[in-house]
Amino acid sequence: MMTNLPVVVMLLGTAAALQCVLPAFPFHPLKVPLLAAVAFYYALERPLLPAVVVALWAGILTDALGGVSPGTSAVFLALMALIMAGLREVMPLSSWGGAVLVGAVGAPLLALWQALLLRRNGAIIPVSLPLTGALLLAPGGALATVVARSAGRYLDLRAGNLTPSKEVESDAG
């Protein structure tokens, strides 16, 4: 039996709560993009439709918690899910290395996208702020995506959404 919805709700709810309570970087106003990391996990591991749905919800929550225009992050994360679905046909992204790569590239691009749209809407943002933020978000996004992948795979295995690999079965003995 597929039990995707409880896993999605738990991952998005936990990521949203942590993104609210965890402080920003000590020397920069950005936070680690935990909700985007959940969207990246689903884009890496799941079929296109669930990945896009989770990306839209993660984007809506990110926009609501981050004070950016509604739809800004949702559109970006949905486009990332579409791009990664196409890339999965060419290269294997469903791995730890893929999670690191997607998090390290996707999180800074999301911050730059948000800054670009905020500037377009009249916000005064110095050019150096999103650039330094992108440098900080590369390792932060990679780490967050690895953590989201670990938590997501654990919950999906426990819920029966994924079948354990032979390596997991032999370790469990």
- Give pLDDT tens digits for 123-164: 777 777 777 778 888 999 999 999 999 999 999 888 888 787
pLDDT reported for residue 3: 67
Tell me what percent of the chain is helix, strand and coil, each rounded to the nearest 5: 75, 0, 25
Residue 25 maps to a domain: yes
* Number of domains the chain is built from: 1
Domain range spanning residue 112? 4-161
- For the cut 70, the answer to whether the pLDDT of residue 169 exceeds it is no
Q: What is the CATH number of the domain that holds 145?
A: 1.10.1760
pTM listed for this prediction = 0.87
Q: Is residue 156 part of a domain?
A: yes
The pLDDT confidence band at residue 1, using thresholds 50, 70 and 90, is: very low
pLDDT digits (tens, 9 = 90+) for 46-64: 889 999 999 999 999 999 9
- Computed on alpha carbons and rounded to an integer, the radius of gyration of the chain in Å comes to 16
Q: Which of 144, 65, 11 is nearest to 3 (CA)?
A: 11
On whether residue 166 sits in a domain, the answer given is no
| Nearest-10 Cα torsion for 80, 86, 90, 95 | 50
